[in-house]
Amino acid sequence: MDIPAIGDAEELSCDVLVIGGGTAGTMAALTAAERGARVLLLEKAHVRHSGALAMGMDGVNNAVVPGRAEPDDYVAEITRANDGVVDQSTVRQTATRGFAMVQRLESYGVKFEKDEHGEYAVRQVHRSGSYVLPMPEGKDVKKVLYRQLRRREMRERIRIENRVMPVRVLTSPEDGRAIGAAAFNTRTGAFVTVRAGAVILATGPCGRLGLPASGYLYGTYENPTNAGDGYAMAYHAGAALTGIECFQINPLIKDYNGPACAYVANPFGGYQVNRHGERFVDSDYWSGQMMAEFAAELASDRGPVYLKLSHLPEESVASLESILHTTERPTRGTFHAGRGHDYRTHDIEMHISEIGLCGGHSASGVRVDDHARTTVPRLYAAGDLASVPHNYMIGAFVFGDLAGGDAARHTAYEGTLPADQLAAAHELIYRPLRNPDGPPQPQVEYKLRRFVNDYVAPPKTGAKLSLAVAAFDRMTGEIAEMGARTAHELMRCAEVSFIRDCAEMAARSSLARTESRWGLYHERLDHPERDDTGWLYHLDLRKSASGAMEFTARPVEPYLVPVDGFAPAGGPARHLGEVDLVPVATAGSREAAPAARAQAAPDGPDGPDAVPAAAPEHGSASSPRILELLALAEESPDLDVLRPYLADPDPAVRAAAVAALGETVPAGAGPALAARLADAAPVVRAAAAAALRELVEVLPGGPELGAGLRAALAVPDPAVRSAALEALRALRLGDVQAYAASLADADPEVRIHAVRALVSVDAVPELAAAAADPAREVRVAVAKGLASVHAPAPGPLDPLLADADPLVRGAALGALASVGCPDGYARTAVAALADAAWQVRAGAAAGLSAAAPHTAVPALAKALADANADVRKAAVLALLAHRDAPEARAALATAVSDPDADVRAYAGRAA
């Protein structure tokens, strides 16, 4: 292609420019538009399926739901996880605004797991606090957000330009404020300039920094399109970045760069173990120290490390498969199947990911205040790009909302765009076209990221980091010589320049912080101790007027929430300037003879020691009718426009029409979807069931929809009957009679949904009748359901407590913790502590948390010697309920030296 002239650029204008159409960017655009701003959203891919969120989300890691967690507790937890180096004002925004964001997302149609009464099913996964809110059907979050962007009132204010990639933020020569961006079209190669009143960077993390063990450039833990674009743009615009030495490193599946998902598996009973089956993680799950313990175990003779699932019952394994093989990573099931592995017979071997930069999962990003403002006026950052530690998805939405609301105050820049900045951006974009036969991007990027692995990945040393800086300086010239022939190749070449910038930032920042902190994230072998006196500071970097990278140690602000063990001293910032490199040209002095190895001092360090849609029975996915539907969906048609497609003879067309209904949700969509539950084609029924599940939070629950759902209870397809029951329960459109009738359904899954529905209306007699169900999984659901009604009592559990199946007995005994455990039941639970099945013993221990202390505490103290770690863990948690008793506190004190990490951790919390 030819290099376009700068003068031929397409110029766009807006009040608020949002760069990146993922989680934070979408929310920023919606909020800014709601505040009246003219918004331009630039996305180098397509907003419909861009960003990490497009793959779906299996849960929220940091939901501070009233009644289940307190904002101050969450702020303290994140402060501890980040070793005290935190701006608590930013973390508190997520803590206090996150629940409202959950509700806002629900109003859009995003689904979060709730119990039978409509309360949020928050789980405790971390050692303190319940913050994890599952999203078992979270695969469609991005589709829901895109639907909001395409609403008519939003389309009037939000202009979306897909396939346009910004490379530089433009700043005013007079006052340095952000005034727009320079970009290009990744399909045509056209040069694009934007003038704006404010700019919001929402480009995600730098996930493509280290090289995966597979060597595949795009096989990264994070979304591989996140190449550090925003980090580089913020840096070159003059913004401060902070915490760049605090890397993101995660546990993942060996040979498959996806998370092992202990967050998801933990509530089902899964956990991390070494090859002997021993839990070994003492620290909490969102700390870098956890990764240090993980790496140490992996490198020891106790490795490999596994996510243990093989001990779980069939129904738990099946539930995990339905989540992990659809929402989290659709290729995950294929990967395991290709190796002949199954969660029932094989635990999941785990490993460590490549390094990356990410505020949302560690702390490295663009410095922002509590309104998402950067240090450059009118430039904002949100999401994984912003340095708000452990912000995750909800935090990205919160800061996208904050950025959009604040940026909406500004109107489009009217002055002349700076010619020198446009020329530099133009050169960055198009220089590979002048050298089409130069080194191709994959080769240069591979070499660059191998240097990152070799010299920057922990454990770090000053010598290796200095070698890294020298390598990245050399590679500036090699990157300038890369060749390209197409617009797509230009995009990839620009991404390599962003990766190089991030790599240099990571290396120089790691050199500047002369201590170890955050566990594996910043482990310096040559500075192995944490130094709170000298380094309870943020390490900021910025581009100086001369173009050099310079550093400032900024004191941590006084905490809003006091945290034991950390006391920010305040005081002035320390300007560090440019970081000094360690001499590495020669190994020691050139003249010196070989020296004896220095010995460590006696007190010094010892050394490094959703169900896939079926294929249509007839017709083709390329049918002209389907292409018409795809075009119609972009215009948000009314139901009357879609009705002919819903009645089309071709089931592929009908299924596509159902998908369009789910995407646009016109008035009357609910009854129309309910009618399709009775469609003759399985593919249409499956699409209708999936759409109803996705939209159940936003559909109005009128009589017509209720009638259609009740009629669907007679459809021969069990998946339809399950979906109908679920929708009836969630929309409060069913009754005891309809739910109880479904207890006679031939399909166990339908009966489980009937049990949940009966719980939602507190139908205890009908639930008790289901205690004789032939399916174990249904009886387990009944036991849990009897503990979840509003007025629980132990009597209905009697037949389940005597059930022949140990899993049922264990569930019933565990339910005593909620329904109450009077003396007779307490004696039953004490006797069950001697049962042969560990699940029964664990349930009995849990149930005794509600018994009288004089009965419970002696029995639980004995249970602390149980051979099974899960029984001991249940005993510790039950003893916490009796901690006012001196005998309970004495028993807990003995458990702090338990060989199991979970038992030690919970007992230690009590101490």
- pLDDT tens for 6-50 read 999 999 999 999 999 999 999 999 999 999 999 999 999 999 888
Question: What is the rounded distance in angstroms from the CA atom of residue 308 to the CA atom of residue 895?
Answer: 23
Say yes or no to pLDDT of 687 above 50. Answer: yes
Question: What is the rounded distance in angstroms from the CA atom of residue 185 to the CA atom of residue 485?
Answer: 14
CA distances from 865 to 154, 737, 832, 838, 899 (A): 62, 48, 15, 13, 11
Residue from 552, 549, 444 nearest 502 by CA: 549
pLDDT digits (tens, 9 = 90+) for 234-261: 999 999 999 999 999 988 888 887 777 7
Q: Quick one: how far is CA 568 from the chain centroid?
A: 30
Contact 786, 768 (CB under 8 A): yes
Contact 213, 194 (CB under 8 A): no
Question: What is the rounded distance in angstroms from the CA atom of residue 437 to the CA atom of residue 185?
Answer: 22
Of 58 and 498, which is predicted with more confidence?
498
pLDDT at 611 (0 to 100): 34
Question: What is the rounded distance in angstroms from the CA atom of residue 680 to the CA atom of residue 15?
Answer: 51
Question: What is the rounded distance in angstroms from the CA atom of residue 375 to the CA atom of residue 30?
Answer: 24
pLDDT at 596 (0 to 100): 62
Q: Is 689 helix (H, G, I), strand (E, B) or coil?
A: helix
Say yes or no to pLDDT of 192 above 70. Answer: yes
pLDDT band, very low/low/confident/very high, at 619 (cuts 50, 70, 90): very low
Q: How many residues does the chain have?
A: 911
Taken in order 39, 44, 46, 51, is the CA torsion positive or negative? negative
Contact 796, 786 (CB under 8 A): yes
- Looking at the chain, the number of H-run helices and the number of E-run strands are 35, 19
pTM metric for this prediction: 0.85
pLDDT at 621 (0 to 100): 46
Say yes or no to pLDDT of 603 above 90. Answer: no
Of 569 and 604, which is predicted with more confidence?
569
Say yes or no to pLDDT of 616 above 70. Answer: no
Question: What is the rounded distance in angstroms from the CA atom of residue 132 to the CA atom of residue 263?
Answer: 8
Of 168 and 115, which is predicted with more confidence?
168
- How many other C-beta atoms lie within 10 A of the C-beta of residue 584? 14
Say yes or no to pLDDT of 56 above 80. Answer: no
Of 263 and 798, which is predicted with more confidence?
798
pLDDT at 129 (0 to 100): 72
pLDDT at 127 (0 to 100): 63
Task: For residue 878, give every residue at least 6 positions away whose Cβ sits within 8 Å of its Cβ, in sequence order, or none.
Answer: 817, 845, 846, 847, 848, 849, 856, 860
pLDDT at 610 (0 to 100): 36
pLDDT band, very low/low/confident/very high, at 807 (cuts 50, 70, 90): very high
Of 686 and 589, which is predicted with more confidence?
686
In the sheet with 365-366, reading across from the earlier edge strand, the strands are 365-366, 241-242, 537-543, 549-555, 574-577
Q: Is residue 510 within a helix (H) or strand (E), and if so which, with residue range?
A: helix 487-512
Task: For residue 838, give every residue at least 6 positions away whose Cβ sits within 8 Å of its Cβ, in sequence order, or none.
Answer: 866, 868, 870, 871
Residue type, 402: L
Say yes or no to pLDDT of 333 above 70. Answer: yes
Say yes or no to pLDDT of 613 above 70. Answer: no
Question: What is the rounded distance in angstroms from the CA atom of residue 225 to the CA atom of residue 554?
Answer: 32
The residue-averaged pLDDT of 431-449 equals: 97
Percent of the chain clearing pLDDT 70 (strictly above): 94
- CB-based burial label for 204 (10 Å; 0-12, 13-18, 19+): buried
Say yes or no to pLDDT of 655 above 50. Answer: yes
CA distances from 329 to 159, 256, 326, 453, 742 (A): 31, 10, 6, 25, 33
pLDDT digits (tens, 9 = 90+) for 339-368: 999 999 999 999 999 999 999 888 999 999
Task: For residue 306, give every residue at least 6 positions away whose Cβ sits within 8 Å of its Cβ, in sequence order, or none.
Answer: 272, 273, 274, 275, 347, 348, 349, 350
pLDDT at 605 (0 to 100): 41
Q: For residue 283, how many C-alpha atoms fall within 13 Å in the half-sphere facing its CB?
A: 18
pLDDT band, very low/low/confident/very high, at 618 (cuts 50, 70, 90): very low
Say yes or no to pLDDT of 608 above 90. Answer: no
Which tokens sit at 381?
A: 């950052």
Say yes or no to pLDDT of 378 above 90. Answer: yes
| DSSP codes joined into one string, 299-345 | HSTT--EEEE-TTS-HHHHHHHHHHIIIII-TTHHHHHHHTT--TTT
pLDDT digits (tens, 9 = 90+) for 448-469: 999 999 999 999 999 999 999 9
Contact 836, 866 (CB under 8 A): no
Task: Give the residue carrying structure tokens 């960077």.
Answer: 201
Contact 322, 166 (CB under 8 A): no
The residue-averaged pLDDT of 517-540 equals: 95
Q: What value does the mean pLDDT of the chain take?
A: 90
pLDDT band, very low/low/confident/very high, at 697 (cuts 50, 70, 90): confident
pLDDT at 261 (0 to 100): 72
The residue-averaged pLDDT of 582-597 equals: 72
- Torsion, Cα 235 240 243 244, to 10 degrees, reads 10
The residue-averaged pLDDT of 469-493 equals: 97
Question: What is the rounded distance in angstroms from the CA atom of residue 116 to the CA atom of residue 884?
Answer: 33
φ, ψ (nearest 5 deg) of residue 272: -85, 135
pLDDT digits (tens, 9 = 90+) for 657-672: 999 888 888 999 999 9
pLDDT at 221 (0 to 100): 87
| Contacts made by residues 182-188, CB under 8 angstroms, sequence distance 24+ | 182/421, 182/422, 182/425, 182/426, 182/429, 183/42, 184/429, 184/430, 184/487, 184/490, 185/487, 186/44, 186/487, 186/488, 186/490, 186/491, 187/163, 187/487, 187/488, 188/487
Contact 209, 502 (CB under 8 A): yes
pLDDT band, very low/low/confident/very high, at 871 (cuts 50, 70, 90): very high
pLDDT at 230 (0 to 100): 97
Q: Is 17 helix (H, G, I), strand (E, B) or coil?
A: strand
- How many other C-beta atoms lie within 10 A of the C-beta of residue 121? 16
Q: Is residue 553 within a helix (H) or strand (E), and if so which, with residue range?
A: strand 549-555
Question: What is the rounded distance in angstroms from the CA atom of residue 873 to the CA atom of residue 839?
Answer: 12
Question: What is the rounded distance in angstroms from the CA atom of residue 132 to the CA atom of residue 266?
Answer: 10
Contact 644, 659 (CB under 8 A): no
pLDDT band, very low/low/confident/very high, at 794 (cuts 50, 70, 90): very high
Say yes or no to pLDDT of 910 above 80. Answer: no
**Helical segments of 382-440, H only:** 392-407, 419-430
Question: What is the rounded distance in angstroms from the CA atom of residue 280 to the CA atom of residue 268?
Answer: 19
Contact 378, 177 (CB under 8 A): yes
Which tokens sit at 520?
A: 């594996």
Q: Is 726 helix (H, G, I), strand (E, B) or coil?
A: helix
pLDDT at 797 (0 to 100): 95
Q: At what angle do helices 88-108 and 141-149 cross, to 10 degrees?
A: 80
Q: For residue 835, how many C-alpha atoms fall within 13 Å in the half-sphere facing its CB?
A: 26
Task: Decide the pairing of beta strands 305-308 and 271-274.
Answer: antiparallel
Question: What is the rounded distance in angstroms from the CA atom of residue 169 to the CA atom of residue 180?
Answer: 6
Contact 391, 281 (CB under 8 A): no
pLDDT digits (tens, 9 = 90+) for 142-180: 888 999 999 989 999 999 999 999 999 999 999 999 999
Of 15-24, 488-497, 644-653, 829-838, least confident by mean pLDDT is 644-653
φ, ψ (nearest 5 deg) of residue 614: -75, 155
